[in-house]
Structure 1
Amino acid sequence: MDLVQTIRAGQGGFLLFGITPPKASTPPDKLRQITESTLARLEAADPDGVALYDIAEEQDRNPEARPFPFLPTLDPGDFCAQHLLAWQKPAVIYRAVGKYSEAQLAGWMREQPADQVMTVLVGASSSKQIGATSLSRAYDLRQEVRPDLLAGAVVIPERHTGRGDEHLRMLNKQEAGVCFFVSQILYDANAAKNLLADYADECEARGVAPKPVVFTLSVCGSVKTLDFLAWLGVKVPHWMQRDLRRAENTLDASCEQARMIASDMVQYGRRIGVPVGLNVESVSSRRVEIEAAVQLAVDLRPILQG
């Protein structure tokens, strides 16, 4: 599959594997080891593209103490271009636009090979955060300097449950040039299906084609990880939290839930005519969770092809 052409054509059925770059403080010898391990992980998962996250501290997201400490990472674009040279498939590079000036963003966009690199432009985590560049201005910049560079946006199904207007946000971003959407980690399939239904209906009402929507799945190997998801604002249904907390093996239980959610979303997208892709997020440093994420990606491929 040519991921760039698939998304450009407005089609789904593709698989991404999402990772974070190594910590900025990583010494050179350790960085080489991490790079080799990352490439081996990607080879085993065999996704259609890799997604590299741009990590921001986002302390304003939640006043409560962060369950895991924030540690700055290498720039995702630099890590991909300088270290993942053996990766031959496309990359989706996230950009937390508030971290960069307009000149920095525009310069980075101009340098990217549009047949190999896409971007997801991410705005502030809260209205209180004032960044160097706003999300709306970042969309304008892409249109001005690199309209051929495919741009995606974050979509949050749970926000639709509370506000009821996430599908309108999607259409506004679509009008600004966004050609695919990627969700945060999804545990609430009902929230996602309600969003897809409203999005499909609004696209039909406006006479426009729906863009691919990529749902992110992840493994949860411990109660502490579950607490971190809550800190990030990820909504895990009460019944699922109960099951995960009481499971003999939290990791196995979360993988089973992820597979069921993935199947549910792919089938529902097909039924209502919204192209759906999947993204397996693997950001843990624990080997058992890394291996589980790789296996989850392998397990999801038949769901996409079915």
Structure 2
Amino acid sequence: MFLQKIKSGESGVMLYGITPPKARTITERVEEIAQKTVDRLSSLDIDALVVYDVQDESARTKEERPFPFINALDPFTFASQHLSALQVPKIIYRPAGKFSADELSKWLQQLHTHQFHPVFVGVPAPDFPVKTSLPEAYKIWEAYQETSVIGAVTIPERHEVLKDEDVRMLDKMDSGVSYFISQCVFDIAYAKQVVKDLAISCENKQIAPPTIIFTITACGSPKTLSFMEWLGIHVPAQTKEELLAEEDMLGKSVQICLDIAAELTAYCVEHAIPFGFNIESVAIRKTEIEASIDMANSIAKMLINKGIRKASSDSDLRTVESTLKSGLYV
């Protein structure tokens, strides 16, 4: 249903985002991680799984990276070889500029064979030598536009500084992009400004707006919070103070995330922007992974209750309801 929902501009899209295991992980451990991932996600009411491409962004900033960078497995390889038992479409990130046009063409053909969908992202640093520009990459993808959709990234923090995120999005729409996955949202004012300006721009041009899928992720420790800020995610001062002062930091962050999702839902409906959520789980701590599952269920249930999303089946709805007996989301 993911393909149809994006092409029709239907709101309530639910994604779940993961990173592949580290490249040095032995095969047996990779298979074990994959099986746990499949087991955790099989009962989730999601439309697609996002598999990120992990890049070393250390050259982007002079600030010290809170966690050391370790190469990860190729996301397409991990998804196609180890996650086939998870019967949902896969969305694969790829930095187009790191590859030649021929390499991208062959990669897109592989994606199409597996009925996966691409998201092209930029290179890890401004001075990185680009082999293929994003417009060129989108042009290569056009061969699959009838049977696929291509996504891009939107960064509310960038809009706060440059005030042109809506223009960037419209330019990418001209190249065939029909949905955007945001950087993790912790500053709701930044995200709402993107929605508002995009709605105005689309109305002025008399075009249908793209789908915005907001990335939501929990934060369970001060070090994780530091890493999020290193990545360029803006956490408002008050929110940061509340998280650091809370004994149960993870629980507090989950509630903040659910409040953000509810507020963005109302705001997108008000501005007639099709939207959805991507619940990101890139932590290795079991409690944070479980929190992401709970959030995915909670947000899906919230969207169902508001009549924005349909439960994929009665069994899915029962799974969601049983997860919510603890009153995580009201």
Q: TM-score range by the shorter chain?
A: over 0.9
Q: Are the equivalent residues in 2 in contact too, given 1:217–1:258 (CA < 8 A)?
A: yes
Q: Are the equivalent residues in 1 in contact too, given 2:217–2:292 (CA < 8 A)?
A: yes
The Cα offsets for residues 220-254 of structure 1, whole Å up to 9 and x where unpaired, read as 00000000011101111111011111111110010
Aligned match of 1:127: 126
Unaligned runs of 5+ residues in structure 1 are: none
Aligned match of 1:252: 251
Q: Are the equivalent residues in 1 in contact too, given 2:56–2:124 (CA < 8 A)?
A: no
Matches within 5 A, 1:151-230: 151-230=150-229
The Cα offsets for residues 233-285 of structure 1, whole Å up to 9 and x where unpaired, read as 11111110111111111100100000000111111111110001000000001
Aligned match of 1:101: 100
In the TM superposition, structure 1's runs of 4+ consecutive aligned residues that sit over 4 Å from their partners are none
CA shift, 1:304, in A, is 2.0
Q: Are the equivalent residues in 2 in contact too, given 1:92–1:117 (CA < 8 A)?
A: yes
Unaligned runs of 5+ residues in structure 2 are: 307-330
CA shift, 1:115, in A, is 8.4
The code of the aligned residue for 2:239 comes to: M
CA shift, 1:129, in A, is 2.3
Distance 2:96 2:182 in 1: 17
Q: Give the secondary-structure state (helix, strand or coil) at the position aligned to 2:16.
A: strand
Aligned match of 2:26: 27
Distance 2:131 2:284 in 1: 31
Q: CA RMSD, aligned part only?
A: 1.4
The code of the aligned residue for 1:12 comes to: S
Distance 1:269 1:217 in 2: 16
CA shift, 1:204, in A, is 0.6
Count of residue correspondences: 304
Distance 1:175 1:237 in 2: 33
Q: Give the secondary-structure state (helix, strand or coil) at the position aligned to 1:153.
A: strand
Q: Give the secondary-structure state (helix, strand or coil) at the position aligned to 2:91.
A: strand
Q: Give the secondary-structure state (helix, strand or coil) at the position aligned to 2:153.
A: strand
Matches within 5 A, 1:1-306: 2-113=1-112, 116-143=115-142, 145-148=143-146, 149-305=148-304, 306=306
Distance 1:8 1:111 in 2: 21
Q: Are the equivalent residues in 1 in contact too, given 2:45–2:300 (CA < 8 A)?
A: no
- Structure 2 vs 1, CA of residues 17 and 193 (structure 1 numbering), >3 Å: closer, same or farther? same
The code of the aligned residue for 1:176 comes to: S
TM-score (structure 2 length as normaliser)? 0.89
TM-score (structure 1 length as normaliser)? 0.96
Q: Percent identity?
A: 39
Distance 2:248 2:44 in 1: 22
Q: Give the secondary-structure state (helix, strand or coil) at the position aligned to 2:119.
A: strand
